[in-house]
């Protein structure tokens, strides 16, 4: 970077044949221009300018260096202008991985994002499998839980909690559990992680329901939307993220079971490969962080 600064000072001085005018163009002092040129001369081991009290002129070595470096610096200025334009107006395709249930959180935000960034083309891949962000070429992934790959960077978007819920018809037929231990007498709907095949644990204040738990009857699914529909159909009690069932709980189509007993909280994060963000990735992540749905008070 010091060499680039020195080259810029040299080129401006060579173009104007004035340290003062070069300083005005670069926005620095004339003495700073002189020091940068002197540093470059020392590095190259040649004199680049003939200096007198009245004039400045190029040496043969200086003329050669100007002819070689001016096109390079012009290209760098063009690149800088393009990058500045890209930052101001992000564009291009953005390949994003999300869990299937992510559509509930993302799709309401898309009209506003499109209005702000019309030249960013979103390509969403909804899947509950654990994708390899780097190897599969994703620009961003939205995931819950802890990040496992140290090659990825992350930014927290928002929290959520789990709730136990059932349909009014199921509770009318089977009764509502009054304590966690009563779940053994009920029909339970379990979630199996597609990536690992493991059953999701129910983290309750006084009970941890694992894959070994034996309720009166069980149904196991590996899709959260199927869990919602099965719960609505009266198939049993499910343990599910609150944002997934918030609307049907408010509508009374589902009822929270053992309120306050679920102790597990989690959150969504945006993850991406590498330390540096392209403008289209940065605008997307910044937008999500600003507009991510705020959990409602419970």
Strand partners for 204: 262
Q: How far apart are CA 33 and CA 41, in angstroms?
A: 12
- 112 touches 82 (CB < 8 A): no
On the CB side of 174, CA atoms within 13 Å amount to 23
What is the structure's pLDDT at 113? 95
pTM of the model: 0.65
Beta bridge partners of 202: 209
| Amino acid 229: pLDDT | 96
* 143 half-sphere exposure, CB direction, 13 A CA radius: 21
From first to last of the 298 residues of the chain, give the pLDDT tens digit.
467 788 888 888 888 899 988 888 888 888 998 899 999 999 899 999 998 878 889 999 989 988 888 888 878 776 665 665 556 678 889 999 998 888 888 999 999 999 999 999 999 999 888 788 888 889 999 988 776 666 788 899 989 999 999 999 999 999 999 999 999 999 999 999 887 888 999 999 988 888 788 899 999 999 899 999 999 999 999 999 999 999 999 999 999 999 989 998 888 999 988 777 788 888 999 999 999 987 654 4
Sign of torsion, CA 114 117 118 122? negative
Per the CB < 8 A criterion, the answer to whether 142 and 270 are in contact is yes
């Amino acid at each position: 970077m010091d060499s680039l600064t020195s080259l810029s000072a040299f080129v401006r001085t060579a173009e104007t044949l004035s340290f003062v005018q070069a300083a005005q163009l670069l926005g620095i002092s004339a003495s700073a221009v002189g020091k940068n040129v002197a540093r470059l001369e020392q590095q190259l081991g040649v004199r680049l300018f003939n200096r007198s009290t009245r004039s400045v002129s190029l040496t043969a070595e200086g003329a050669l260096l100007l002819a070689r470096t001016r096109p390079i610096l012009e290209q760098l200025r063009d690149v800088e202008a393009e990058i500045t334009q890209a930052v101001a107006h992000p564009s291009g395709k953005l390949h994003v991985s999300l869990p299937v249930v992510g559509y509930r959180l993302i799709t309401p935000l898309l009209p506003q994002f499109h209005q702000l960034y019309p030249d960013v083309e979103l390509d969403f891949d909804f899947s509950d499998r654990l994708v390899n962000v780097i190897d599969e070429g994703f620009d961003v992934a939205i995931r819950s839980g802890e990040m496992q790959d140290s090659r990825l960077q992350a930014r927290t978007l928002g929290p959520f909690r789990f709730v136990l819920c059932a349909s009014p018809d199921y509770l009318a037929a089977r009764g509502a559990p009054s304590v966690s231990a009563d779940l053994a007498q009920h029909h339970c709907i379990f979630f199996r992680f597609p990536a690992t095949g493991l059953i999701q644990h129910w983290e309750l204040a006084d009970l941890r329901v694992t894959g070994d738990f034996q309720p009166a009857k069980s149904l196991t699914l590996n899709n959260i939307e199927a869990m919602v529909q099965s719960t609505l159909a009266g198939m049993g009690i499910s343990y599910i993220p609150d944002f997934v069932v918030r609307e049907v709980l408010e509508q009374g189509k589902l009822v929270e079971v053992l309120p306050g007993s679920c102790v597990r909280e989690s959150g969504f994060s945006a993850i991406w490969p590498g330390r540096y963000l392209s403008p289209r990735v940065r605008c997307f992540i910044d937008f999500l962080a600003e507009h991510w749905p705020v959990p409602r008070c419970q």
